[in-house]
Structure 1
Amino acid sequence: MDAKEFLQVYRAGRKVFSNIDLVGADLQAIDLHKIDFSHALMSKANFANSKLCRANLTGADLSYSNLNSADLHRANLRYANLKGADLRNADLRGADLRGANLSWANMQDALFEGAQMTNVNFYNAKK
């Protein structure tokens, strides 16, 4: 499913997209709150300025994705792969990041108040 087809299905009311392949998709500045992207493949996707608050991203592959200024507050990112992701200015307040991989991620000016961050891999992350 490409980004255009995904958006058509999403706008028709579907909210569950677990295991979807959206590698490299351009989904910037889109309201995707409460979506279920659990175990989705979305490496190198562009979610800049998107609203992903309260989204289920458990086990999702978001490696090298652009999440600059994304709203991820209260999102479930348990065991998500965010290696090399651009999280500058992202809102991760209250997010569940337990077991997530944030190695090599750029987290400058990201908000983490109240986030659960047990067993997070921060190797070479830029804070």
Structure 2
Amino acid sequence: MDNEEFLEQYESGRRDFSGLYLEGIMLGNVSLKKIDLSESVLAAAQISRTSFVGSNLSKVNFEDVQMEKVLFENCNLREVNLLKASLTGSISLMQ
């Protein structure tokens, strides 16, 4: 699935993207509220100025991902793979 198809499906109301292979996807300036990306592969992705609020990111493979100014608010981040990931300016807010 490419960037455009992914964002179109999200905008049309789909929230369950669990178990998908999204290696190299490029996401910028988007809000992905309550998305389920659990057990998905986003290795080598480029994610900037993206907001994950109330999202399930458990067991996501973010290996070698470049993240800049990404917000993780009230997210499930259990067993996330961040090996060699760059998280410049990113924050996690938990309640």
TM-score range, shorter chain: over 0.9
Provide the alpha-carbon RMSD of the alignment: 1.2
Tell me the TM-score normalised to structure 1 length.
0.70
State how far apart, in whole Å, the 2-side matches of 1:91 and 1:22 are. 22
Task: Report the Cα offset of residue 53 of structure 1.
Answer: 2.0
Q: Distance in 1 between matches of 2:28 and 2:63?
A: 16
Aligned to 1:58: 58
Q: How many residues align?
A: 95
Q: Which runs of 4+ in 1 moved over 2 A?
A: none
Amino acid in the other structure paired with 2:11: R
Match of 1:73 in 2: 73
Instruction: Give unpaired runs (5+ residues) of structure 1.
Output: 95-113, 115-127
Taking every aligned residue pair, what percent have the same amino acid on both sides?
Answer: 29
Unpaired stretches in structure 2, ≥5 consecutive residues: none
CA distance in 1, matches of 2:48, 2:84: 15
Higher strand share: 2
TM-score (ref. length: structure 2): 0.92
